[in-house]
Amino acid sequence: MSGEITHSVMDRLVPMRVSSFFATHRFRPTLLLTVAMVALTALAIALGNWQRHRADEKSAAAALASAADRAAPLDLAAADSDAAAVLYRIVHGVGEFDAAHGVLIDNKVHGGRPGYDVVTPFRLAPGNRYVLVDRGWVAQGPTRKVLPSVQTPAGVIEIVGRATVPPKRYLELKADTGQGALRQNLDIERIAASSGLTLLPFVVEQTDPVIPSDGLLREWPRPDFGIESHLSYMLQWYSLAALAAALWLVLNWRRRLEDA
């Protein structure tokens, strides 16, 4: 019985309070709040749309990587200059390393230890085409002044790896002259310019072991496309747009006495 009475009282009080609010308040949006709401909402929606677009791009890239995993290994001798056609594919090729134009990519850390990625041009047979091969990681020595010595297999060999494309944008701590064995970043165009070699527009992350062992560590992480991060940011921006609109509605209700 008491529960029924409580519900009956609440059913009467809520409409009365709503009616009382509308009787004592009126909706009077101000120009300043309206302009601020429109600007903030438009900006938040635009940023949310951009994050959604990036998530769609990353989803497409993830689907491409998944399809590449299921595809048959690609012979590098048949690969063309379209990097997108071989991206993430398992590739193999016969040829020989050009140790004279090999480089070390600086600031590569593994297990908390500083080191370098060893990148060496690989001349594909038959012909005179080259592809850069990231052969793996080597630890830094006692001092940065002395670069580690890495053994390079001689003669004609077969390599196996995954095709990747280095990022076009990167951070440089100082001007990179594009010369010498030590490089800050893996830049195909710079290495091609300094070596004079015609390089394919992708890099092979070598996965097969080399005999005799060259002492390089080959533990390549799977690509992290960060789709969840973009979706999270998208929801945050859309939520901010909704919050701005809600605040605009709340803040523009004024007591009628204030209008007098």
- Give per-residue pLDDT as tens, 103-145: 999 988 888 889 999 999 999 988 888 999 999 999 888 877 7
Where does the pLDDT of residue 13 fall: very low under 50, low under 70, confident under 90, or very high at 90 and above?
Answer: very low
Asked if residue 5 has pLDDT above 70, the reply is: no
The answer to whether 116 and 140 are in contact (CB under 8 A) is yes
Q: pTM of the entire structure?
A: 0.69
Where does the pLDDT of residue 92 fall: very low under 50, low under 70, confident under 90, or very high at 90 and above?
Answer: very high
Asked if residue 18 has pLDDT above 80, the reply is: no
**φ and ψ at 123, to 5 degrees?**
-85, 120
Mean pLDDT of 189-204: 91
Counting Cβ atoms within 10 Å, is residue 17 exposed (0-12), middle (13-18) or buried (19+)? exposed
Which pLDDT belongs to residue 146?
82
Q: How many CB atoms within 10 Å of residue 40?
A: 17
Closest CA to 220 of 161, 157, 149: 161
**φ and ψ at 218, to 5 degrees?**
-120, 85
Which pLDDT belongs to residue 217?
86
- Give per-residue pLDDT as tens, 42-87: 999 999 999 999 999 888 887 877 777 777 788 888 777 777 788 8
Judged by average pLDDT, the poorest of 137-146, 152-161, 231-240 is: 137-146
| Helix 227-251, helix 31-70: angle, nearest 10 | 160
